[in-house]
Amino acid sequence: MDTITVTSPLLPDLEEFQGLLREIWDSKWITNNGSFHQRLEEALAEYLKVPYVSLFTNGTLPLITALQALRITGEVITTPYSFVATTHALWWNGIKPVFVDIDPATGGIDPDCIEAAITPKTTAIMPVHVYGKPCDTERIQAIADKYGLRVIYDAAHAFGVEVDGKSILNAGDMSTLSFHATKVYNTIEGGAMVMHDAKTKQRIDYLKNFGFAGETEVVAPGINSKMDEMRSAYGLLNLLQVDAAIAARRKVAVAYREALRDTEGITFFDDMPGVRHNYSYFPIFVDAEKYGMTRDELYFRMRDAGVLGRRYFYPLITEFSTYRGLPSAVPENLPHAHRMAATVICLPMHHALTQDDVERVINCIVR
Ligand SMILES: *Cc1c(COP(=O)(O)O)cnc(C)c1O
């Protein structure tokens, strides 16, 4: 029997892509703010309902660059329940991560824990819209305003997510996206930063091109994170089919929920009122006592049946050697994050899952 993978990349039509490659070959302009790059930035800003987008080569460099651009130093309050890149971006800037616990209702940073972790060295908050579920952006902003802190959202999971018709990517000072192959929308490797004004976009565009502000002028110690024309063209084609992909994912989520709703010891998130979700992940949480099997037992049982889930996010970032010595990384500080990491399995979730695939996944879990 075929293996059911946790994700599968959304690929553009090959012939259409070849047509655009022909245009690039003819133009001989293959990178450095070419016409596909410009078109993709504009198309993404429109699709995402945000004022400005700057493309990057992946989703990690915009995090690193946002911290540079805002001159963030000292300590930044963040979540242990994320992909390691969130914290690595702080480390690469010589910033000390201060971990606080999550709200078990969403998996996002718990605003109640933020205030208690603020010290005179705190300069910013870096929350993550984990699984594309919106953080409590209003409360986080209120705390930031009260203490004069910046807010940078790692929105790698939150492509196209809206609350009451408005993009959550407009929250905070900046938001960053990842367009990695495994994400809802991909450019193979790729990413972006979302910002509020033209001046900031200008500065970010300098920073991602070594700090060049003109032929002979370098205004900052920038980095190289320019997206090339091939991947920009690929991204333009994928943007045309991302709504259909999200609709297909939604069907899978609805089927999972229907089938698992009455399974004792298995819980999952429901849609939030007023939110346009992107169904980027479908995490379930296993209560070993009620379910009669541990998370890992279920995970390996699924694997034996050719169904590849993912224990995402496990282990917590605070368990990795680089970070576990930090005072805020002690488990007693992060009980909800530890519980979530110990019980989670992300089920297969992508646009190409068939009804049979979904049934096979469900049959591994429902007994
Ligand atoms: C994928 C991801 C990133 C990193 O993105 P890349 O494009 O792989 O560099 C950062 N943060 C989170 C939460 C992610 O899931």
26-75 tens-digit pLDDT = 999 999 999 999 999 999 999 999 999 999 999 999 999 999 999 999 99
Ligand 1 is surrounded, with C-beta below 6 A, by: 58-60, 82-83, 85-86, 128, 154, 156-157, 178, 180, 191
Pairing verdict, β 122-126 and 75-78: parallel
CA of 192 to the centre of ligand 1 (A): 11
The phi, psi pair for 233, rounded to 5°, reads -65, -45
Rg of the chain over Cα atoms, rounded to whole angstroms, equals 21
b/e for 119-137, b at 16 or more Cβ within 10 A? eeebbbbbbbbbbbbbbbb
Q: Is 88 helix (H, G, I), strand (E, B) or coil?
A: helix
In the 8-state DSSP scheme, what is residue 11?
Answer: -
Q: Report the distance separating Cα 284 and Cα 291, nearest Å.
A: 12
Q: Ligand 1, residue 60: give the atom nearest the CA.
A: 9
166-198 tens-digit pLDDT = 999 999 999 999 999 999 999 999 999 999 999
**Tokens standing for 30?**
């293959």
pLDDT at res. 56: 98
204-215 tens-digit pLDDT = 999 999 999 999
